[in-house]
Amino acid sequence: MNPAATTRRRALALAAAGTLAAVLVAAALRAPRAPARAEFFVFGSLSSVELRGATARQAQDAFAAIGAQLRQDERDWHPWQPSALMRLNAALARGEPLRVPPNLAGLIRRAQWGYRASGGLFDPAIGALIEAWGFHTSVYPIAAPPPAQATIDALRAAYPTMDDVTVAADGTVASRNRAVQLDLNGLAEGYAAEQAAALLRARGIADALIDVGGDVLALGTADGRRWRVAVEDPRGKAPLAVAELAGHEALFTSGDYHKYREIAGQRWAHILDPRDGLPLHGDAATAAVIAGDAVVADIASTTLMIAGPARFADAARGLGVRCALLLTHDGRLYLTPSMRARIAVLAPLASTNVAAGPVERCDAAGP
């Protein structure tokens, strides 16, 4: 055997092995990390966070922080169980101001914006009416009888609105109207989603899908691809449409198909119209909004349900929302031009009605 040839073969083999090892290491570094997912039961429903590209340590830390924040929010925001919000409502009923935790003060400030931007259609100050209709519950459909008309009239006559509420820089909340009782469920999930996004950013996590009670906020991408999200169709089990989200985009929906009561065989939704103090029981079945701010998307989807088909386009413009849809019970679909460009409709429809205007990005103009 030629010692020199053996040495050369060994050197070539070692070089090849080294090259293969380097290739495998490089491939491993390029390969996406396995998705990490955690679930949380808060606000009476299941929420989840899915991460892409995060290390196990990052994921563990992020899930712990998000879980702690969501539980704190539930303790502070709950409208009918002992909470900071209930203590605030009791103080407002006595005509007294109260300093509240920062997460509650921030939520109320966003509610004030929603009230102004919606022209008063979104009004969390009517919590007493919401309670009177039996919607302070986690059990649906509601079996208890509706309130007497005299009760509704008395609560409406007091005319509580978010215009009555002030929030000082130190978080002290006051109201000039003792009838104000805050119920912030109409924007709580959007605010919680943005809190979760901030916690992820602080930990260097750029790609995630945050689902709070079925509404989603997408961050970054899903391993380089857009997040694909369905819009529920209340008329059946199949989705109404699908949308692809990326960057920092929220898709929020409101409807009458999960939380409601029935009166004379008709479904009355948990969403109240502050103009007459009644639960929604008209044409609108579901509304969906894509926006760059989850709070705006949450507020807007509720507002569009109240606005209905007749005021759909005007309400969307007032909120600075460019991507929105509204579906009626009989299958009429109303869309903004930008929403039409962003979704693929899967369900059969009676008609499709696209509002006038240009196709624009879905970024919202909210605060």
User: Rounded CA gap, 48 and 26, in Å?
Assistant: 32
For residues 155 and 253, membership in a common domain is answered with no
Residue 298, marked binder: yes
Residue 52 is predicted with a pLDDT of 98
Residue 221, marked binder: no
What mean pLDDT comes out for the span 117-125? 98
* In a domain? residue 156: yes
For residues 108 and 171, membership in a common domain is answered with yes
Cβ neighbours for 60, distance < 8 A, ≥ 6 positions apart: none
Which of the four pLDDT bands, split at 50, 70 and 90, describes residue 365?
Answer: low
Q: pLDDT for 287-326, tens place per residue?
A: 999 999 999 999 999 999 999 999 999 999 999 999 999 9
User: Rounded CA gap, 1 and 5, in Å?
Assistant: 8
For residues 244 and 323, membership in a common domain is answered with yes
Could you give phi then psi for residue 332, rounded to 5 degrees?
-85, 130
More confident: 21 or 173 = 173
* In a domain? residue 199: no
For residues 231 and 302, membership in a common domain is answered with yes
Provide the number of structural domains found in the chain: 2
Percent of the chain with pLDDT over 70: 90
For residues 230 and 163, membership in a common domain is answered with no
Per-residue pLDDT at 10 exceeds 70: no
Q: pLDDT for 136-148, tens place per residue?
A: 998 888 988 999 9
Q: Partners of 227 in the beta sheet? A: 245
More confident: 223 or 15 = 223
CATH code, 237: 3.10.520.10
Per-residue pLDDT at 128 exceeds 80: yes
Q: pLDDT for 242-282, tens place per residue?
A: 999 999 999 999 998 788 898 888 889 999 999 999 999 98
pTM across the whole model: 0.90
Q: Can you point out the beta strands (E) in 223-356?
A: 227-231, 241-245, 247-255, 260-263, 266-269, 272-273, 278-279, 284-291, 323-328, 332-335, 343-345, 351-354
Residue 114, marked binder: no
* In a domain? residue 202: no
* In a domain? residue 364: no
In terms of Cα–Cα distance, which of 195, 231, 189 is closest to 344?
231
CATH code, 146: 1.10.3980.10
Mean residue pLDDT across the chain: 91
Per-residue pLDDT at 1 exceeds 80: no
